[in-house]
Amino acid sequence: MPFNQLKQQYSTCDKCEELCNNRTQVVFGAGNKEADVLLLGEAPGASEDKQGIPFCGMSGKILNELLDSAGLSREDIFITNTVLCRPPENRNPSKLEIENCRDRLDKLISIMQPKVIVTIGNFATERIIGKTGIKTIHGQLFDFKEGIQVVPVVHPASYLYSGRNPDLLKQMQDDFKTIAEVVNAKVKQKNLSDFSVGLSE
Ligand code: URA
């Protein structure tokens, strides 16, 4: 299924009654759909629900700074969330809501075929690799299917809740450097294998 068809299909999704009744719009995702990196957040907040763009509020500002500190930009990535619609009062997404959005995310991953998935916070991390405990596993590499590597990171909202703890910021910057290194290594690997296929043709 092409990307635009998936996006179109979910623009009117009505699987989660409460989210559907409270949302301004479905926030499908933003960025470069050809990117090697897929960032997965938790759920749209108030700004995202209004503007239709993931991570466009305060957390998004921190995320942009972290990307920038690692030499990455929004053009290098595609961002979406574990659930596409804002939970009222920014409550956590429920298990059922995450399940209702499962097929959509699986399809997105198989269309995009990213080389790296960055899971932001516990909900996204659990959704992809079945693990929680982000404070312990952040910045580590996990194998997912089809050679995709997963790097969990602490949610920028946690940094805001910490009162902008400088040690936490440093840790998050280090994790984003790890992400950039993994992406660069994967791209190099791909270029080398394309080159050797070219030679054998
Ligand atoms: N937090 C998220 O997890 N996702 C967003 O899109 C915005 C804030």
pLDDT of residue 193: 76
pTM over the 0.75 mark: yes
pLDDT (0 to 100) of residue 18: 98
pLDDT score of 182: 95
| Percent of the chain surpassing pLDDT 70 | 100
**Pocket-testing residue among 27, 55, 120, ligand 1, by greatest number of atoms within 8 A of Cβ:** 55
Whether 92 and 123 have beta carbons less than 8 Å apart is answered as yes
Q: Which atom of ligand 1 is nearest to the CA of 54?
A: 6
Residue 59 Cβ inside 6 Å of ligand 1? The answer reads yes
Question: pLDDT higher for 1 or 60?
Answer: 60
**pLDDT for the residue numbered 44:** 98
pLDDT digits (tens, 9 = 90+) for 10-21: 999 999 999 999
Q: Which residue has the tokens 């500002």?
A: 61
Residues found in the chain: 201
Question: Which is it for strands 77-81 and 37-41: parallel, antiparallel or unpaired?
Answer: parallel
| Neighbouring residues of 115: CB distance < 8 A, sequence distance ≥ 6 | 36, 37, 147, 148, 149, 183, 186, 187, 190
Measured between alpha carbons, how far is 66 from 139 in angstroms, rounded to an integer? Answer: 13
CA distances from 168 to 33, 144, 157, 159, 175 (A): 30, 26, 12, 7, 11
pLDDT tens digit string along 112-121? 999 999 999 9
- Tokens matching residue 166: 């400088």
Mean of pLDDT values over 54-65: 98
Q: Is 59 exposed, middle or buried (0-12, 13-18, 19+ CB in 10 A)?
A: buried
